[in-house]
Structure 1
Amino acid sequence: MLKCKHVVEKADALVDGAPLSKRERFALRLHLLICHHCRRYVRQLRALVTSLRRPPPETVSQEKVDAVLDKLDKTP
């Protein structure tokens, strides 16, 4: 049975889909079934990787910001 330390070491490979042996993949899955701390860690790592892969949000020009603020100022 893997220890949490080993799961943390292999979590990147698991999240990225890197090649793992069948034995390693089985051992990781088994540990994750038992250990809620490691499940949470892997879930957070997946969320982090997903958010880092997203393109950055579009920037809004200052003119558009000023136009919206002007409209808000004119609203009763």
Structure 2
Amino acid sequence: MLKCKEVVEKADALVDGMPLSWRERLAMRLHLIMCHHCRRYIRQLNALVTSLPHEPQPLDDEQTKRILKKIDSPGN
């Protein structure tokens, strides 16, 4: 059976609908049946993925400068 760490590593593929082998799908389902923490993680990841826009919007120069300034500021 999969460990929680392994479920987290495969969660992106599961949520994105990427193909998993029948053995991987079975192992994921068995683990998710027994582990409410991983079920919650998968639900939250799925909610995040569905709420994001599918096409990323490019940043303009001003937005890029603001982000870099925040990264470089001493409070981070």
Aligned pairs for 1:2-41 within 5 A: 2-41=2-41
Compute the displacement of 1:13 (Å): 0.4
Consecutive aligned runs of 4 or more in structure 1 exceeding 2 Å deviation: none
Compute the displacement of 1:5 (Å): 0.1
Structure 2 gaps, min length 5: 56-76
What is the percentage of aligned positions where both structures have the same residue? 78
* Cα distance per residue 1:25-63 (max 9 Å; x no partner): 0000110000000000000000000000368xxxxxxxx
Q: Tell me, in whole angstroms, the C-alpha distance in 2 between the residues paired with 1:54 and 1:19.
A: 20
Which structure is larger by alpha-carbon Rg, 1 or 2?
Answer: 1
TM-score by length of 2: 0.69
Compute the displacement of 1:2 (Å): 0.4
> The residue matched to 1:53 in structure 2 has which SS?
coil
Q: Tell me, in whole angstroms, the C-alpha distance in 2 between the residues paired with 1:15 and 1:53.
A: 15
The CA RMSD over aligned residues, in Å, is: 1.3
Structure 1 gaps, min length 5: 56-76
Which amino acid is the alignment partner of residue 35 of structure 2?
A: C
